[in-house]
Chains A and B, each alone.
Chain A
Amino acid sequence: MRKKNRNIIEGQGITYNYLHYDEDGKVDSAQLALDHVDLDVEAGQFIAILGHNGSGKSTLAKQINALLLPGEGTLYVDGNDTRDESKLWEIRQCAGMVFQNPDNQIIASVVEEDVGFGPENMGVPTKQIWERAERALRAVDMWKYRGSSPNRLSGGQKQRVAIAGVIAMLPKCIVLDEPTAMLDPGGRKEVIETVRELNRKEGITVILITHYMEEVIHADRVIVMDSAKVVMTGTPREIFSQVEKLRELRLGVPQVTELAWELKKAGLPLPDGILTIEEFTKALDRVRGRSGAEA
């Protein structure tokens, strides 16, 4: 249905510094947040970015939406250079963004009005705004809350409204910057399931930034960042096979992966990078079968 061969995001050598100014307005110190980062994302993929607090992953996310611009290097979003000011609104429409704190990104006092905010900014005719808002709210399963006040919703519901607000702009790509960090397990599940469904059904490219290892096991590709650089990239299985390296990077692995790794260390012949409970029990059953045969 969709072309899988084109890169929707192409970044090369992206470098970015946060500058601190002294009282005279001169640059006092610079803090390197992105250090020659390359980022290629194929249209329709589900990409997860991991990294501890302060590793540069949020800065990278803001580059994709042109909220921040590369100091060095280039970043193309759907063929548009993010530094080209005339393409700014096209880029923001193409790559929508969802932030961590649901309260700080919902602008309107009624759910449907908030979903309409993006299309309004784009100058979409009124009738189409309503069609888009309905479609977006149905896609995140929040249609029945369209008339509610955001203050009355749970954290997970608020984040789904925020996602609908982005979808209503008909983006090709959504960047989510730790959308589940402030939610309870129920809310986290709601949001992640919504995002996965948008990726599968609507073919929207997803870039998910998170601390929760369990949320990335379904990604097509995982990118790990540390001190402003991309330090690992690969499939979830490839990444989570390297338990020790992840620990060094202040990250973890899903608990079941850690268990398999611990058992392997204790001498059991288990494969690396087990990601789900099902994989684990199957692998362990094979171990038992073998030891049973030996006995």
Chain B
Amino acid sequence: MPIRIEHLSYIYGEGTSFEKKALDDISLEIGDGEFIGLIGHTGSGKSTLIQHLNGLNKASSGRILVDGEDIRSEGYSLKKLRGKVGLVFQYPEYQLFEAEVLKDVCFGPHNQGLSDEEVLARAKEALAAVGLDESYYEKSPFDLSGGQKRRVAIAGILAMKPKVLVLDEPTAGMDPKGRDEILALLKELHESQNITVILVSHSMEDVAGCVSRIIVLDEGKILYDDAPSGVFRHARELEKVGLAAPQMTYVMQALLKDGWDVNADASTVPQARDEILRVLNKG
């Protein structure tokens, strides 16, 4: 289910003293089964952009085609769209409200108008997919740890069976292991459920290990749209917009400067290790 964004612009607070161009002529194509990292500093427009994909914001100009259909055309059902594109917000606290985990996950599919059995089946399936077993069904979401809350929040969206899963900074504020676990979960969902994943983040280290394409936003414009290695080559430019390349990129560039004959595209620890060993063994 491809998504096409054509010349999308969004002006925030139009006609007020806070008027700001949050998105400026964005054109993008997102293919089936991609795993994309959407990067930008706070206020770069990345959250605004993903809310458009879900029909939560109305573009000032331009359009978005999902499966070839304009999501703002007359008669297009937003309900249908939200069954196709799922959006997980940054803080699970913004969406958890039921007294029990299972019930909370049922909220999405229930709103889709499915039968009670279907709702329950989907909720259980989604909880299993995020690694929460039956013992969690009746727990209160408010008693869970930060990582578990995030899993419940993701399950709440997965239960709506979207083809595209968009996550807004799912690892913010977590400890290193918790970050790794959530990222591993996303990788697994991407592979086993065959869904497109768009991961919004400001951490290059986080995305370097899992995505195949990175889109960098700055001031509402697309700065880069390329494979990770292609984006990380611009380490200095990334710093100028409040971001940074992964530490491995800097290591490889430092080696290159020291006269090492390495390919500086390595951006994760295993890649860097293999590249250094390759060069050393060759020498």
Contact = CB atoms under 8 A, between A and B. Distances in A.
Q: Are A and B in contact, CB atoms below 8 Å, in the complex?
A: yes
Interface string A201-233: 000000000010110000000000000000000
Contact of A185 (B178, B203, B283): B203
B131 interface: no
Contacts of B255: 281, 284
B273 interface: yes
A258 B243 CA distance: 22
Q: How large is the interface on B (under 10, 10 to 19, 20 to 34, 35 or more residues)?
A: 35 or more
Contact of B283 (A183, A255, A266, A291): A291
B254 interface: yes
Nearest to B176: A252
Interface string A249-261: 0111011101100
Nearest to B276: A263
B250 interface: yes
A284 B43 CA distance: 40
B235 to A, nearest CB: 12
A234 interface: no
Contacts, number: 106
B216 to A, nearest CB: 13
Contact of B174 (A53, A214, A254, A259): A53
A134 B244 CA distance: 32
A182 B174 CA distance: 10
A39 B176 CA distance: 24
- Chain B facing A: main interface SS: helix
B178 A258 contact: no
Contacts of B251: 255-256, 259, 277, 280-281
A287 interface: yes
Contact of B273 (A52, A186, A213, A263): A263
A268 B42 contact: no
Given A53-B145, A214-B247, A182 B172 contact: yes
Given A255-B247, A281-B255, A262 B177 contact: no
B97 to A, nearest CB: 21
B272 A184 contact: no
A292 B282 CA distance: 11
A110 B244 CA distance: 31
Interface in A258-279: 258-259, 262-263, 266, 268, 277-278
B176 A211 contact: yes
Q: Which residue, of A178, A259, A263, has the highest number of chain B Cβ atoms within 10 A?
A: A259
A54 interface: yes
26 contacts: A52-B177, A53-B147, A53-B175, A181-B173, A185-B41, A185-B202, A185-B244, A187-B42, A211-B176, A213-B176, A247-B177, A251-B176, A251-B177, A252-B180, A255-B246, A256-B248, A256-B251, A258-B269, A259-B248, A263-B273, A266-B273, A266-B277, A268-B280, A277-B247, A277-B251, A281-B258
Given A185-B203, A211-B176, A256-B251, 6 more contacts: A178-B173, A185-B242, A266-B273, A277-B254, A280-B254, A288-B280
Interface of B: 41-43, 145-147, 172-178, 180, 202-205, 242-244, 246-248, 250-251, 254-255, 258, 260, 269-270, 272-273, 276-277, 280, 283
